[in-house]
Amino acid sequence: MGEVVRQVLVDLINEELIFSGLDTKNVMERGRFFTKYVSEIESDQVLGVSHNTMLHLAMTTLQVRKDTSAVRTTVTDLGKLCVLLLDCFVLAELAMLALVNVLRHQTLSLSTADP
């Protein structure tokens, strides 16, 4: 197990994703990262919180971010729909005003016409 983790670390180091600028020659040597290190890391606690609890919290946070993103997209789509509906309402009001104006002119024309 230690060698598998070491190989992952080597790949991340080579891609300069971790330990940038630090001396990593010990990690680069085969057989230098023992399984007991993995166990120690897993059992380590930060501020009294276990590694598994922190991992669960990180995964939950990622899910909340995804859910928040979905909500944001939905709210944005609803906002666009509301604007579209408001535009339709304004157009309907303008059409109604135009119709009232036409009817008013027709009524005036009929009332001023000679019998």
The per-residue pLDDT for range 49-86, each reduced to its tens digit, is 676 777 777 777 777 777 777 777 777 777 777 777 77
* Predicted structure pTM score: 0.41
pLDDT the model gives residue 41:
74
Domain extent for 13: 1-43
Bridge partners (DSSP) listed for residue 50: 45
pLDDT recorded at residue 86: 78
Number of domains in the chain: 1
In-domain check, residue 101: no
pLDDT at 115 over 60: no
Q: At what angle do helices 35-43 and 2-14 cross, to 10 degrees?
A: 80
Does some domain include residue 65?
A: no
Helices within 1-115 (DSSP H only): 2-14, 25-28, 35-43, 51-112
